[in-house]
């Protein structure tokens, strides 16, 4: 995989999963509404994917080290991977109850992070368990923090 595409893909995958998990957990604990969670996932899949793709684009341009083609490869791969991985989280909410979909989503997100972390560890010849643990710790921290933020915002009504 070309470095420019790999950069966009890895950023989009990681950001798409962690951001969407945080949104799902926060909205669930604040609203307890399946339609609000589904709407949030769709909105974040579009808006945040475009935002992150723009951010990667500007970041790559500001380095003044990449060709126009490489910059656009990173931009497009960021958007597509972020959108794709974020939108996959809608599926459990269309098929299951809110509580079941939450469990499936957290499991799905942590599984994807683990698989990609394993791939990164193999590519960098690092210890798999350390890379996986580090990335899972970040994702789990986001889930825990957004649970409490969502529960707190529910009390503001």
Q: Where are the domains of the chain?
A: 3-154
| Cβ atoms < 10 Å from Cβ of 66 | 17
| pTM assigned to the model | 0.91
pLDDT of residue 128: 94
pLDDT of residue 145: 98
Return the structure tokens found at 34: 């399946």
| Cβ atoms < 10 Å from Cβ of 115 | 12
pLDDT of residue 1: 80
Query: Helix, strand, or coil here: 137?
Result: helix
pLDDT of residue 23: 97
Identify the CA nearest to 7 among candidates 59, 64, 62, 84: 59
pLDDT of residue 129: 94
Per-run averaged pLDDT (10 residues), the chain, 157 residues? 88 94 97 97 96 94 92 94 97 97 97 95 93 96 97 92
- Residues whose CB is less than 8 angstroms from the CB of residue 110 and which lie 6 or more positions away in sequence, other chains included: 136, 139, 140
Are 29 and 154 contacting, i.e. CB atoms less than 8 angstroms apart?
yes
- Residues whose CB is less than 8 angstroms from the CB of residue 60 and which lie 6 or more positions away in sequence, other chains included: 4, 66, 70, 71, 74, 75
């Amino acid at each position: 995989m070309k470095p420019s595409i790999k950069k966009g893909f890895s950023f989009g995958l990681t950001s798409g999963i962690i951001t969407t998990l945080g949104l799902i957990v926060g909205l669930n604990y604040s609203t307890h509404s399946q339609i609000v969670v589904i709407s949030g996932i769709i909105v974040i899949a579009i808006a945040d994917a475009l935002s992150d793709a723009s951010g990667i684009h500007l970041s790559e341009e500001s380095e003044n080290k990449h060709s126009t083609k490489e910059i656009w490869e990173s931009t497009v791969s960021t958007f597509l991977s972020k959108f794709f991985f974020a939108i996959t989280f809608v599926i459990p909410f269309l098929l299951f109850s809110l509580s079941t979909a939450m469990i499936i989503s957290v499991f799905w997100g942590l599984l994807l992070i683990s698989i990609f972390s394993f791939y990164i560890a193999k590519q960098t010849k690092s210890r798999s368990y350390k890379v996986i643990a580090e990335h899972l710790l970040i994702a789990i921290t986001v889930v825990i923090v957004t649970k409490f933020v969502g529960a707190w915002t529910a009390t503001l009504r």
